[in-house]
Copies of this chain bind each other. A is one copy, B any other.
Amino acid sequence: MTIDHEDAALLAGLEALLGPRGFTRDPDDLAPWLVDWRGRVRGQALALLSPADAGQVAAIVRAAATARMPLVPQGGNTSMVAGATPPAHGRALIVSLRRMRAILGVSPEDGVAIVEAGVTLSALHEAAEAVGMRFPLSLAAKGTATIGGLISTNAGGTQVLRFGPMRALVLGVEAVLPDGARFDGLSALRKDNRGYDLRQLLGGAEGTLGIITAAALRLVPAIGARAVGWAGLETPQAALGLLRRLEAATGAAVESFELVPEVALDLVLRHIPGTRAPLAGRHRWNVLVEATAPTGAPDPAGALGAALAQAIDDGLVADATVSASEAQAEALWKLRESISEAERADGMAAKHDVAVPVSAMPGFIESARQAVEARFPTTRVIAFGHLGDGNVHFNVRAPMGEDGRAWLAREGAGVSAFVHDLTVAAGGSISAEHGIGQTKLADYARLADPARLAAQRAIKAALDPLGLMNPGKLVPLAPEPPAP
């Protein structure tokens, strides 16, 4: 795109401010950050800005406000909904937080880590482990995803059951608001009732209300021992019954409870080298369960094994195994964590990240599968994931023999709209943990409670009246920045 005189002046000023490490317009530098993680949405940007500190972020935001220039904050760019991809028209600047990766402090006494926004989840895990603590949230993209992005999408993962999503682990944030003001909410207070919780408002806002520059995060004591179990059973309802038993038997020790259908396990065993079936027989449904114990407490394997044995005796579970070593535990986890990769190897799918009330999920999985396969014959549904959170990844696979990409281009939006309709009809959410970003915006606008939408627009307009912060994401009909 051509750049007018004023935009050129803005870019020159930012280049002078940020220096060569903080400013680039080189197409090769920009290229990886113009396309989303799943490779489906491509945008353009005038420059990639990489501020070194929060002061530079504030200067960028003020300069952009003066020039009416849209900003797209970016962490690891691992959004599942193209939440960090710039607009197609290209009149925007990417603000990467990746240079801001200082661990500012780790306090085991407070159970707090204070880190800059560009710290990766893996780096946070390591910093916590170094002092005998842990940060109890993990997900596949942990080596790339950054704290700022994880907070901005209120990321989930496999430990939400016990510790909640990112929102529950954020004790404080520092941010630059759309007017360039710096919000200092980094003091890690366990309790703070001073007015509206901006920390919570910025969490999950996908960068539309400001740019998070640092955060104070909750740490918990390191695990002493863990045990991973695998159970084969007949129905998701039986799986939920098992979860409730295990919770009652072990207190808060159950950290993960993941549902794996037979077809997903088959795909993993077929496509992922080095995997093997965890049980002798085949079962329509499986669950992976992890229980942990603090240092010095008895190994949870005993209690987990006894509870699973009792569940077999009672006919709730058909077969089960418990890891006898860390290697076995890892092998069981690999079966769960490889599902997405195995699915990709096998073909294309329309993917959905839906939540319904927990007790409704077993029924929803079955009724929604039947409805989808009736409406779109020859597709196959794979629903797997976080049953204990009422959240599954509900993927509709392209018909066998079809060109998956062509099918997705032709049918994907219709399939997704249908799945989202079913979800809302069940009182659920069309985004459990991935956010709205760009790719769910139309369905969100179509299906959301009008009162919720109106309130969200009012908040967006109040804090970002120029509509410059990550435009085109999350908030349907938000204020629009000037067209290029």
Contact = CB atoms under 8 A, between A and B. Distances in A.
Nearest to A188: B357
Nearest to A292: B251
Contact of A293 (B184, B198, B251, B359): B251
A4 interface: no
A160 B190 contact: yes
Most buried by B among A200, A203, A386, A444: A200
Contact of A193 (B221, B294, B434, B451): B434
A432 interface: yes
Given A357-B188, A359-B110, A194 B455 contact: no
B201 A197 contact: yes
A195 B452 contact: yes
A102 interface: no
A271 to B, nearest CB: 28
B183 A165 contact: no
Interface residues of A, number: 91
Interface string A453-484: 01110111111000000000011000000000
Contacts of A184: 449, 451
Given A203-B197, A294-B250, A191 B391 contact: yes
A180 to B, nearest CB: 10
Contacts of A456: 195-196, 198
Given A451-B181, A455-B463, A459-B463, A251 B189 contact: no
Contact of A191 (B198, B429, B448, B449): B429
Contacts of A165: 191
Contacts of A107: 357, 359
Interface centre among A183, A190, A248, A355 (most CB of B within 10 A): A190
A191 B452 contact: no
Given A193-B204, A196-B205, 18 more contacts: A107-B359, A110-B359, A111-B358, A154-B197, A183-B451, A183-B455, A187-B429, A189-B355, A189-B429, A192-B431, A194-B431, A194-B452, A195-B436, A196-B201, A196-B459, A248-B294, A248-B295, A251-B251
When A and B form their complex, which 10 residue pairs have the shortest distance between CB atoms, in order from nearest? A462-B462, A181-B451, A109-B359, A251-B294, A191-B432, A200-B200, A187-B427, A458-B462, A192-B429, A190-B389
